[in-house]
Structures are given as structure tokens and as C-alpha cells.
Amino acid sequence: MAERVRVAVAGGIAEVRLNRPEKLNALDVPMFEALVSAGKQLAADRSVRCVVLSGAGRAFCAGLDLALFAAMAQPGAGGRARGLFARELGNPANFAQRAAYVWTAMPAPVIAAVHGVAFGAGLQIALAADLRIVAPDARLAVLEVRWGLIPDLTGSQALRRLVPLDVAKELTFTGREVSGEEAVRLGLATRVSEQPLEDALALAREIAARSPDAVRAAKKLLNSAGFLGLEEGLRLEEELQRSLIAKPNQIEAARANLERREARFTDPE
């Protein structure tokens, strides 16, 4: 069996590529497992300062493998699907959800480079990233309703944070496809690019050149915004700021800025 997900780390940037191009990177059980494994591996790697998610071949990800949908349609499918809902102690996400949630929970920022299609589960994985750079002719859809299902790879949570409620409902109720350009207008994507992977890597290099302590703290703070009350949010802001001030990487950032030179940061502790 071909390696479902390829991971390469260089210069603080991790490239994670879904690698099932003959199936438009559709998600089967080995792909779920490979995504979770890759996410865990990179979360533990302190040298990683940014992650770029992409798909090999003609698409980012076409969604759930048709064989899994066929299995769900058979009598007794509940038993076959049960493994997708298995839970891990201490993790809020079930087995299937972790394929997306692992990127939201990643300490370092994650950029999804989207081309071709990002349908259903594939779109939800892209939405789990911090930023999405999409080709103008990319096709994105919350496709689950066509199969009599709802988005269940954390997509419901991501949609509500990225777009207005009525937009989330329209996309979810209809399964309507949107182009990369419309995705940006709606808030599903960050920016359009004719070369999404190249621009995602360029952005990753820019992020990797900043203090990894500050970038990780900023991701944690912004991911918490809207989920905490005002007092808790302000307290977290102060706590994270205190954890940065006068630390080696913060001092190096200030000195490099004043001396107009490239900073030399150390990996987070």
C-alpha cells in the first residue's frame, strides 16, 4: 500500500501531503490513521514552526472514500462505522474528527494549500487549518447532505467561526459548490492564488522567521477568543504575554529588529 501521507520537515517547515492521487486523496481508514499519526508526530517536534497541508495530484481532497459510503448504506452499517466514532481518553475528538482536529490543536500554525476539489471531509480538514490559500478555480463544498449526513469532522465548529450562521446553513443545507474566489468572499478561505502551494510555502517561510514562542502563543490566544468570557480571555492574554517577556526569543526578536538583521531563534522549550 502506498504511503497515504507524506511528511517532510526542512528549515522549520513541515510539508504534509495527502498522497492518494489516483482517488483524488479520498479518505479511507488508512488515510485517517496517517493524518492523525502525522499530526501527532509534528506536534511533538519543537523544530516545526509552520505546517503546510496539500494534496498530491489533481485535488486537495475529494472527501470520504466511496467505499466507506457504500459500507454505511448496507444493513448493519452501524457496526462497521463504529470505529470512526472511537474516542481516546482526554481527547475531545473521536477517531474520524482527529484527522482534522489534530491540525487545529497543532501548536504551530497550519496553512492549507487547496487546489482541485475540497469536498466534504476534505473541506473540513482544510477548515481545521489556520489559513487557507486556494486556487481561484478550486471547488469547495460542504457535501455531506448529498449523502444524507452532516459535517462531522469538526466542520460544524469551524464553519461557525469563519462565516455568518446563515451562510453556514445555506452551504450545509444545500451542498452547493463554491469556487476559490467565492470561498474568499464568504470567509471560507484566506486568499486566492494561481499557485497555492508555492504561496503557502512562501507564507510558511515568513512565519517561520518570527519568534516561534510568540507565534505559538498567538495561535493559542486567538483560537481561544470567542470561547472564553471577557475576563478569562484577558487573563489568558496577560498570562501568555508574561510567558514571553524577557525570554531569550523575545529578547532576540527585539535586538534583531533594532539592529535590522535576521533573527536567530531557538526552538520552543
Residue 80 is placed in which grid cell?
462497521
Beta pairing class for 110-114 and 50-55:
parallel
Is 144 among the residues known to form the active site?
yes
Through-space distance between the first and last CA atoms of the chain, rounded to whole angstroms = 37
* Cα separation values, 165 from 123, 168, 191, 238, Å: 18, 5, 21, 31
* Cα separation values, 129 from 15, 71, 97, 234, Å: 13, 29, 13, 24
- Would you say 10 and 47 are in contact if contact means Cβ atoms under 8 Å apart? no
- Would you say 71 and 80 are in contact if contact means Cβ atoms under 8 Å apart? yes
Phi, psi of 101 (to 5 degrees): -60, -30
Which residues lie below 8 Å from residue 251, measured CB to CB, with a gap of 6+? none
- Would you say 186 and 228 are in contact if contact means Cβ atoms under 8 Å apart? no
Active-site residue, selected from the candidate residues 3, 22, 33, 144: 144
The residue among 8, 29, 5 whose CA lies nearest residue 17 is 5
Residue 220 is placed in which grid cell?
493559542
| Torsion of Cα atoms, 152 then 156 then 158 then 164, to 10° | 160
- C-alpha 12: how far from its chain's center? 17
So which residues are the catalytic ones? 144
